[in-house]
Amino acid sequence: MRRWDRLLDSYIEEYRARGVSPQSVAYTEARLNRWGRWLKGRRPRIGIERIDAEMITRYMANCSSFRAKATVYATLSTMRGFGDYLVRLGLWKINPLRWMKGPKVTPYSRLPKRIDHAHMEAMWREAANRHGGYTSHLWVTVLAMLYGTGLRRGELERLNLDAFDRTEGTLRIDGRKTGQERCVPLPEMVLRCLEAYLPLRHNQLEEAGLCGECALLVSRSGKRLMGGAISNGIHAISRRAQVPIHSLHQFRHSCASDLLESGVHLAQVQRILGHCGIGTTVRYVHIADPQRRAAMTLHPINDWLPQQKVIA
């Protein structure tokens, strides 16, 4: 189905032209490529014009096995967009995906579990005491930046030395995902970790003969600490500390939740995390609800309860 490949390439170019993030483009292309491979494996071969609702249902049943509901929902949404494109080209008369509903995704079901303070401290101690020297300072700094600033893994990986402003105590974060650069003030603990780490970084680069390396976080070999290495390192620390960590994004969610619980305004949290719309930040509000409920027990109206008769 070379025709499929050509159509997919043209659709991806159109999708990219909308200004969406490179990550969104990559996810969209991967989902549609997966659908294309499934179609190419059917016998007898099926023309694009003959793809119908029954065939799409069979594919979704095939690809949704053991998948999270949110993943199935996102896949169906991506296919629906491509179906609209085929309708515009006149290859489909109607888009059957328009009438196909995905699984019901409950609110906040995509939020990873936050990391509690005891677990965070356990990982911190493990990182600080395990190896000593440069490695300990590096991983303590990584932990401090993930939790203290709510950075995404890709943003942490791409940080260069000149993104850190010592005078202002800020980090300049690129806008590759959101299209908008942001400047994040650093908590005192993160600043201290960076100040302790940077001289050791300089020595490490001198030993490796790579003094020109611009990355803020570098491995023991003197090269940029890549996303995969960051994930592997944090997961190794969490295993040794016996802390259940499923995703680095949990640090970001924990940062957002703790800021909101501490009384930071929603709009400020949005700017710190770099969310395009405040609707994304609002998802974290429900996490602080137990604290809000506890606060409402202090409402003066509760003092009336023994004296006042409640109206049914």
Please tell me whether residues 232 and 143 are part of one structural domain. Answer: yes
Q: Confirm whether 86 is domain-assigned.
A: yes
Q: What is the pLDDT of residue 309?
A: 42
Domain residues for 85?
Answer: 2-99
Residues 219 and 125 in one domain: yes
Question: Residue 64 is part of a domain; what is its CATH number?
Answer: 1.10.150.130
**What is the chain's Cα-based Rg?**
25
Helix (H, G, I), strand (E, B) or coil at 170: strand
Q: Is residue 261 part of a domain?
A: no
Tokens 């965070």 correspond to 120
Q: Are 252 and 151 in contact (CB under 8 A)?
A: yes
Asked whether the beta carbons of 48 and 7 are under 8 A apart, the reply is yes
137 located within any domain? yes
Residue 251 CB contacts under 8 Å (≥ 6 apart), including other chains:
115, 143, 146, 147, 150
In this prediction, residue 129 carries a pLDDT of 87
Residue 272 lies in a domain: no
The number of domains in the chain is 2
Same structural domain, 68 and 172: no
Could you tell me if 227 and 151 lie in one domain? yes
Tell whether the model's pLDDT for residue 217 goes beyond 90.
Answer: yes
Q: Is residue 26 in a domain?
A: yes
Domain boundary among 40, 69, 99: 99
Nearest 5 degrees, angle CA 213-CA 217-CA 219?
80
Q: CATH no. for residue 227?
A: 1.10.443.10
Cα separation, 135 vs 140, whole angstroms: 9
pLDDT in tens, 52-82: 999 998 898 887 655 677 788 889 999 999 9
Residue 82 lies in a domain: yes
Burial of 225 (0-12, 13-18, 19+ CB in 10 A): buried
Looking at residue 102, what is its pLDDT? Answer: 73
The rounded Cα 40 to chain-centroid distance in angstroms is: 32
291: closest CA among 255, 262, 252, 248? 262
Same domain, 30 and 65: yes
